[in-house]
Amino acid sequence: MLIKDEKIQTRPVSFWNSSTFKIIIIGLLILALLIPGAMIKNLVRERETILEDARQDIISSWAEAQYFSGRYWLFHMVNLRRRIMK
């Protein structure tokens, strides 16, 4: 049974306990965590570039284009053509 004379007492919600403040803090934390993510992405991209440069350096220093010549190579090419023709 409700009594009409009773008043519900409510405390005013302070800004520090409000949902708006919590959402703002969460947004700031998300933005703050994007910075290290971008730094890590940049580091990975830089290391991939260094890796590709090292590969190209090794490829260019170890061997140039190779050419086969001589009787042995000619003999194998003739035998290969004969096998294909059969």
Residue range 57-81, pLDDT digits in tens: 888 887 666 666 655 556 666 666 7
CA distances to 33, 39, 42, 44 from 36, rounded to whole Å, are: 6, 5, 10, 12
pTM (2 d.p.): 0.48
Q: Which residues of 15-48 are buried (b: 16+ CB within 10 A; e: fewer)?
A: eeeeeeeeeeeeeeeeeeeeeeeeeeeeeeeeee
- Predicted pLDDT of residue 84: 74
Confidence of residue 49 (pLDDT cuts 50, 70, 90): very high
12-16, 30-34, 75-79, 82-86 — most confident range: 30-34
Cβ–Cβ under 8 Å, residues 32 and 38: no
Quote the mean pLDDT of the chain: 80
Q: How many Å separate Cα 56 from the centre of its chain?
A: 22
